Amino acid sequence: MVTPFALDPQQRAWSEELRALAAERLRPLAAAGEPGRVNRPLVAALGELGLLARLFPAGRAPAGASEGPAPDAVRAMDLCLLRESLARECTEAETALALQGLGAYPVVQSGSARQRARWMPEVVAGRAVAAFALSEPAAGSDAAALELRAEPDPGGAGDGWRLTGEKTWISNAPEADVYTVFARTGQAPGSRGVTAFLVPGDSAGLSGRGLDMLSPHPIGTLTFDGVPVGAGDVLGVPGGGFRVAMRTLDLFRPSVGAFAVGMARAALAAAVAHTGERRAFGGPLKDLQAVSHQLAEMATRTEAAALLVYAAAAAYDAGEPGIAARSAMAKLFATETAQYVVDAAVQLHGARALRRGHLLEHLYREVRAPRIYEGASEVQRTIIAKELYR
């Protein structure tokens, strides 16, 4: 097994370029957006700057990319570098990019030529907002317990369904232009009866509402009241939807860890700067052993998290075995580490970090959700434990 444990010069240069773009071009657009709503100017800028094209390179890889198995989809390492670099400077831009990838990657991996031609140019250009609609009120961590029904359409041509039920905790809902929706098409229990559909946001019978969440990114519920879908809307094959979902999550789980690493690095940098300047008890805070040891622990855990993320991404790109466990380890350790580092940075700053608009106040709200979405920490531990016995 050969995986890199350090970024090469091209990858480091690309990461710095991404950070500069995020700080100079994307952060002002993010600041002008409304919390909890899709920021379409920001998504459009991601398209104009070519960052969304990095998610779906169609055979064109960014500088520093290693050879990977899928010519029409992003390499895991590139996705991780994108998310980490953007997160260090602008979490809103990182999340907007990641949600485009999560919502549209099933189209890349399982969509028909017609589906790709209809939606991918719009998604890559930042003109269409995509969403991944898996979770339901009674099916969060237990994704195989989906209840959204896809029933045969009595008024159709025999190859159509009507979607009835509800989705919730869906990022970009209810404002997305297109949804990857997972519904139950058969009586088979668990994951075997699930089918993935591509559903336009303006479909008849589809409605939704936003949810007011701690995290500032858009999230909401969707209600399906007999939404019509046909055979041409299926992603992959009927009954194969759970595999579509899991393949997507296997790619994106390490990159959730990269998002977390980006936030941890930003919090650590803020803590180092503050403790070097802030004076108390006759000198700078950094000279207090309790403070310097705290910073050392934060830095060590952050570096360890980054290495786990990079190793998981490199293994995915190389087609190595054990991807599920490595992805789970990366997401678990990185998100738990980011929570610790951000919290410790807040403690070192004191009350000023809790003031609305402070970087750490923003990160404190952002850092909590990744330990839950795309598989909670407890789910990641379950995956890791099961893989030990394979």
Kindly list the catalytic residues.
374
Q: Are strands 178-184 and 234-235 parallel, antiparallel or unpaired?
A: unpaired
Region for 344 from its dihedrals, namely left if φ exceeds 0, alpha if ψ lies in -120 to 50, beta otherwise? alpha
Note whether 148 and 224 are within 8 A (CB): yes
- What gap in Å lies between CA 375 and CA 380, rounded to an integer? 6
Question: What does the DSSP 8-state code read for residue 290?
Answer: H
Residue count of the chain: 390
Residue 311, both tokens? 């190793």
Residue 40, both tokens? 């379409």
Q: Please, which residues have CB within 8 angstroms of residue 321's CB and are 6 or more apart in sequence?
A: none
Tokens 């407890």 -> residue: 378
Peptide bond before residue 216 is cis, with ω within 30 degrees of 0: no
Residue 235, both tokens? 């992603």
- What gap in Å lies between CA 198 and CA 106, rounded to an integer? 9
Q: Are strands 279-280 and 234-235 parallel, antiparallel or unpaired?
A: unpaired
Apex 263 CA angle, 268 and 266, nearest 5? 40
Residue 143, both tokens? 């994704």
Cα torsion through 108, 114, 118, 123, rounded to 10: 0
Q: What phi and psi values does residue 162 have, to the nearest 5 degrees? A: -120, 125
